[in-house]
Amino acid sequence: MAPVATTSYFTFSARDSHSLTQAQKPLTPVATTSLLHHNGIYFTFSARDSHAPSNKLPFTSLPSTPSVLSSSSSYGRRKTNVSTEPVEYVSPAPEFESGNELNRLRKLRKSLTSAKTLREKVHVVDCDSRVKRFFKRNKKGYARVLDEFKLDEYEFYLLKCIVAAGQEHVLNSGYDSNDYEVDSNGEVLSARSTLKAALYSLVEMIENWDGSDECVKKVDGAALNSLLRTLRDVEEFYNFDSNGEVLSARSTLKAALYSLVEMIENWDGSDECVKKVDGAALNSLLRTLRDVEEFYNCIGGIIGYQLMVLELLSQSVHGEKNDNFQHVNNTNSMGMEILEIHPPSVLDLSQDTEYAARAALWGIEGLPQLGEIYPLGGSADRLGFVDSVTGECLPAAMLPYCGRTLLEGLIRDLQAREFLYFKLYGEQCITPVAIMTSSAKNNHQHITLLCERSKWFGRGRSSFQLFEQPLVPAVSAEDGQWLTKGQFVPVCKPGGHGVIWKLAYDKGVFRWFRDHRRKGATVRQVSNVVAATDVTLMAMAGIGLREEKKLGFASCKRNSGATEGINVLIEKGKPDGTWAYGVSCIEYTEFDKFGIADGSHSSNSLQTEFPANTNIMYVDLNAAELIGSSKDETSLPGMVLNVKKSINFVDHFGFQHGVSGGRLECTMQNIADNLVNSFSSRCSEGVEEMLDTFIVYNHRRKVTSSAKKKRKPADMSLHQTPEGALLDIIRNAYDILSYCDIKLPEIESNDKYADSGPPYLILLHPALGPLWEVTRQKFYGGSISKGSELQVEVSEFLWRNVQLDGSLLVVAENVMGSQIERNHESILQYGYRCARCKLENVNIQNKGIDWSSDKNLYWRHDVQRFEALKVTLHGNAEFEAVDVNLEGNHVFDVPDGYKMMVTSGNSGLSMQLSPIKKEFMDTGSWFWKYMLNDNHVQLEMVEL
């Protein structure tokens, strides 16, 4: 009988509803069904009777498991009883093929952790068997030649580390050393002749290829297989004609092979070829290694990074547990730890509208205590965004969406909240913004240049802090080996948005926020274009500040099959008898590890009971800094290795590759795993009210709609595409305006518009609100016909009984204020010399957008028009149209300092342009006065 191993019990429970208000619904006892027993870990889920799963489990050939009984506890939650009878020994799963490598790396990491100085660390890696073998084999090569690059001891140590990590192929010329013939001393004997002969053979085959199959018939099986492997590698690099026929595969492949042959032909067996290595590539590699070694020092640097990769890869091979939610404590004699995961109770803003309004005002009132955090370092490969002129891949933040970049959209949303604060409290407030970038796709450089060209959006350079996340090596899903483009050039990707907490500490971002006297921060991603809609973001921040919470999530209903995680309530019973509770999340890439199937028709589709994780958060800065400053893996929450996607890259010969793989990623939201609350006993219902973590919940299109991926031409789904996100923006506009007694056509489901444009375009500047109750007081009456277009880029705006059939564009330079010089920078002064527009009893008719044009790109707001009514307001210009019909194409261009009145005259339109009175230059001839009335904002028009 083997000793009883430490055991953890994972259970899932499903409640009636996750849409709960502050009055928490009780948890009734639920039945628990054992699903999987593996390596001493029990995965179970439970459901109330109304949601009980069928007896058919989503696993086949499951080993038998000890029974886990449930009974009602005195606290209203189920009590899981575990048999104390000895558990028979269960044979472990077959060892991952790199099991010996894992053991070697663990020992190496332990020795390096114990080393106190660089010299001691060098001694440790020099004693590693791989390092000894590699540098013995290349004793006349790398050791001497790399010295000629004047590498210091630390740089040479970094190179030794990647050899010790089993990645010596990065230092070779793209060939595995196992392919070389070596003598007893490890010296290369015949790499040149062997490889050259093989390549010449391939060149000859291609040279004799006339496009038919004849040459293939003449080759033997081994040569054919060799050729097929080569062709597979370069398949995506071929040129095809309109019929899909190969145009230049022969010439392309032949040229590449001749290049290889020439390289080998010039190799005389000496070390001279090594001297020809790209110094820039070597320096780039050293920078990457330095970043990995220093940033991941909390898990053991380069060695720890590779060890974690192999451990996670091993877990994915065997379907092992997700350690994000469980840490075994061996102090208990039974070694028992229970982890239950429930649908969380939430603060439903869509149901309790009075509470939502009050919480949103808390968020506006607390704006001077808040910062803003944007994780913009992702590579956004799925978006496929490239420069139309240069072909350069561009980051998501640069995507032109609705007439401006996504990054500018984030800043506009923030400025709208600051403008609301100004209108309520009469004070200027500029929120400090921290932006995490990366070097992927020149992300950091592009974002910096964008901010500079935009003159830091009128906020001043000092209100921004850009900090660059390190890139990490991408690995093969097959064996965890680093992917390479060529010698010294590993394929690198950003390490996930979860690195943001440690990076923010390392780069002094938390200290910078303290200098700005900020207590908390809101976090949102650039691809989510609706995150700041109405009350959600402000209410979340307001609750976080007011209730002194450490972390808050904004959540909504999850779309089945979406690439998004779920929010959960963790209930953890510890071996010492205490219980811990907290709100956290499970990434969609981890569903399999928890036995959660995706899809509404699945018998175990438990994520339908859980709200979506949207990566919109409130975070207490002190709490986040404490976690980011920790010296262990706590500072890198939610480490995962997602190898379900293809890593696409171009090698140094220009060949395109698509390899199944991934990289070590951290998940930003799993910082919540370190913010649980402990209790001496199991808690009763309503435990969420006592936690440092919370969730606000709202309608999905008020919380998340993302421009994450490029839509494929034949794809009927618009989910997470720019086109789909635009439809949600228009749906929100419909909800605003239809409430104002304005007649509009309803918007149908997305599939209705998959092959056409949207039914109409409505784009409203967020400073019109951003609270919908504010925006709605500026609109009343009228109609907007199908196929019409409305764009309002001004905050001081009035619409009264306007009939729109066509295009109306109101564009202002000074939407929320004007620029003033301060400390040699242009700063946007809110409320100062704003532009204004009034439309009362106006009938607008024109041909509008050419909806048949194939040049229209609606989500960019790049459309062809037959006619339009366009009002352009320069500086503090004002425009008024009253009791008038405006038919056909019109352009009203109002200069700074002037007011234009358009009315009906005896012979058509009457237009009067007059200067604004001097005493009204700064305030305007009228403005909206914002007042607080209980939990609501009430507007009053003031005419001077």
pLDDT tens-digit readout, 903-935: 998 778 999 999 999 999 999 999 999 999 999
* Residues 495 and 414 occupy one common structural domain: yes
Q: Where does 397-463 have alpha helices with state H?
A: 406-425, 443-453
pLDDT at 68 over 50: no
Closest CA to 25 of 344, 350, 356, 349: 344
When mean pLDDT is compared over 259-268, 541-550, 609-618, the highest value belongs to 541-550
Distance CA 115, CA 93 (A): 34
Alpha helices per DSSP H over 579-702: 621-628
Helices (H), 319-458: 353-365, 406-425, 443-453
pLDDT of residue 388: 81
- Is residue 143 included in any domain, yes or no? yes
- To the nearest 10 degrees (0 to 180), the angle between helices 406-425 and 536-546 is 60
Backbone CA torsion sign across 511, 515, 517, 518: negative
Structural domain that includes position 509: 336-591+608-703
Q: What pLDDT is stored for residue 653 in this prediction?
A: 80
Cis previous bond, 770, omega within 30: yes
**What integer pLDDT is reported at residue 47 of this predicted model?**
36
Residue 215's pLDDT is 45
Same structural domain for residues 777 and 868? yes
- As a whole-number percent, the residues of the chain with pLDDT over 90 amount to 61
- Residue 471 and residue 436 in contact, taking contact as beta carbons nearer than 8 Å: no
Residue 713's pLDDT is what? 79
Task: With respect to residue 482, please indicate whether it lies within any of the assigned structural domains.
Answer: yes
**Residue 174 buriedness (CB in 10 A; 0-12 / 13-18 / 19+):** middle
Structure tokens at 484: 């390479």
The model's pLDDT over 729-748, given as tens digits with 9 standing for 90+, comes to 999 999 999 999 999 999 99
Range list of H helices, 703-862: 722-738, 772-775
- What's the 3-state SS for 85-101? CCCCCCCCCCCCCCHHH
Average pLDDT score over residue span 195-214? 56
- Least confident among 16-30, 226-240, 777-791: 16-30
In a shared domain, residues 854 and 898 = yes
Mark whether 476 and 407 lie in a shared domain: yes
Between 686 and 615, whose confidence is greater?
615
User: 1-6: long-range contacts at Cβ-Cβ below 8 A with a sequence spacing of 24 or more?
Assistant: 1/86, 1/88, 1/89, 2/88, 2/89, 4/86, 4/87, 4/334, 4/335, 5/39, 5/40, 5/87, 5/335, 6/40, 6/328, 6/329, 6/330, 6/335, 6/336, 6/337
**b/e sequence 844-864, b meaning 16+ C-beta within 10 Å:** bbbebbebeeeebebbebebe
* Listed range (380-389, 579-588, 610-619, 867-876) with the worst mean pLDDT: 380-389
User: Do 405 and 445 reside in the same domain of the chain?
Assistant: yes
Question: Which of residues 634 and 200 earns the better pLDDT score?
Answer: 634
Q: Where are the beta strands (DSSP E) in 794-849?
A: 796-805, 807-812, 817-822, 825-830, 836-845
Express each pLDDT in 593-602 by its tens digit. Answer: 776 765 544 4
Q: Supply the mean pLDDT for the chain.
A: 81
Distance CA 719, CA 680 (A): 45
Q: What is the largest CA-CA distance in the chain?
A: 105
Q: How confident is the model at residue 170 (pLDDT cuts 50, 70, 90)?
A: very high
Is residue 59 assigned to a domain?
A: no
**Cα gap 530→536, rounded to integer Å:** 10
The pLDDT tens digits of the residues spanning 33-58 come to: 333 333 333 333 433 333 333 333 23
Supply the pLDDT for residue 203.
59
What is the residue-wise DSSP string for 304-322? Answer: HHHHHHHHHHHHHHHT---
Is 795 found in the same domain as 662? no
pLDDT digits (tens, 9 = 90+) for 860-891: 999 999 999 999 999 999 999 999 999 999 99
- Looking at the fold, whether 726 and 676 belong to one and the same domain comes out as no
How many other CB atoms are there within 10 angstroms of residue 229's CB atom? 9
Distance CA 169, CA 182 (A): 16
Would you place residue 212 in the very low, low, confident or very high pLDDT band (cuts 50, 70, 90)? low
- Better-scored residue on pLDDT, 40 or 590: 590
Please report the DSSP string for 158-195 in residue order: HHHHHHHTT-GGGTTTSS-GGGS-B-TT--B-SHHHHH
Tell me the pLDDT band of 591, cut-offs 50, 70 and 90.
confident
Looking at the predicted structure, is the pLDDT value of residue 680 above 80?
yes
Same-domain status, 432 and 529: yes
Q: Residues 502-520: what's their mean pLDDT?
A: 98
- Given 645, 671, 703, the domain boundary residue is 703
pLDDT, position 714: 73
Q: How many domains, in total, are found in the chain?
A: 3
- Whether 92 maps to a domain, the answer reads no
* Final residue before a domain boundary, out of 673, 703, 733: 703
Asked whether residue 132 carries a pLDDT value surpassing 70, the answer given is yes
Least confident of 15-29, 441-455, 770-784, 800-814: 15-29
Q: Say whether both 684 and 547 belong to one domain.
A: yes
**Statement: residue 164 has pLDDT above 60:** yes
Is 25 contained in some domain?
Answer: no
714: amino acid identity, one letter: A
- CA gap 545, 623 in Å, rounded: 13
Residues in the chain: 944
Residues 697 and 729 in one domain: no
Q: CA quadruple 761, 767, 770, 776: dihedral positive or negative?
A: negative
Question: Is residue 745 within 8 Å of residue 762, measured between CB atoms?
Answer: no
Q: Looking at the structure, do residues 694 and 771 belong to the same domain, yes or no?
A: no
Residue found by looking up tokens 């077959």 in the block: 94
Higher pLDDT, 724 or 41: 724
Tell whether 857 and 803 lie within a shared domain.
Answer: yes
The residue to which tokens 């309109």 are assigned: 242
With respect to residue 600, please indicate whether it lies within any of the assigned structural domains.
no
State residue 225's pLDDT score: 62
Instruction: Give residue 305's Cα distance to chain centre.
Output: 22
Q: What percent of the chain has pLDDT over 70?
A: 74
Q: How confident is the model at residue 66 (pLDDT cuts 50, 70, 90)?
A: very low
Contact 744, 761 (CB under 8 A): no
Write the pLDDT tens digit of every residue in 449-506: 999 999 999 999 999 999 999 999 999 999 999 999 988 999 999 999 999 999 999 9
Report pLDDT for 172. Answer: 79
Last residue of a domain, one of 643, 671, 703: 703
Residue 310, pLDDT above cutoff 90? yes
Q: Give the pLDDT confidence of 365-379 residue by residue, as tens digits.
A: 999 999 999 999 877
Could you tell me how far CA 346 lies from the centroid of its own chain?
A: 23
Which of 121-125, 327-331, 465-469 comes out lowest in average pLDDT?
A: 327-331
Average pLDDT for residues 523-546, to the nearest whole number? 97
Lowest pLDDT segment from 152-161, 217-226, 290-299, 764-773: 217-226
**What local confidence, expressed as pLDDT, does residue 140 receive?**
62
Average pLDDT over residues 239-249: 44
Separation between Cα atoms, residue 604 and residue 608, nearest integer Å: 9
Backbone angles phi, psi at 784, to 5 degrees: -130, 120
Please indicate, yes or no, if residue 362 is contained in any of the structural domains.
yes
247: which 2 tokens? 């145009």
The two tokens of residue 447 are 């974002």
Q: What is the pLDDT of residue 943?
A: 95
Average pLDDT over residues 537-560: 96
Q: Is residue 77 in a domain?
A: no
pLDDT at position 67 over 50:
no
Lowest mean pLDDT among 249-253, 356-360, 399-403, 882-886: 249-253
Least confident of 160-169, 389-398, 585-594: 585-594
Q: pLDDT tens digit string along 682-722?
A: 997 789 999 999 999 999 999 999 998 888 877 778 888 99
Question: Of the ranges 202-211, 403-412, 665-674, which one carries the lowest mean pLDDT score?
Answer: 202-211
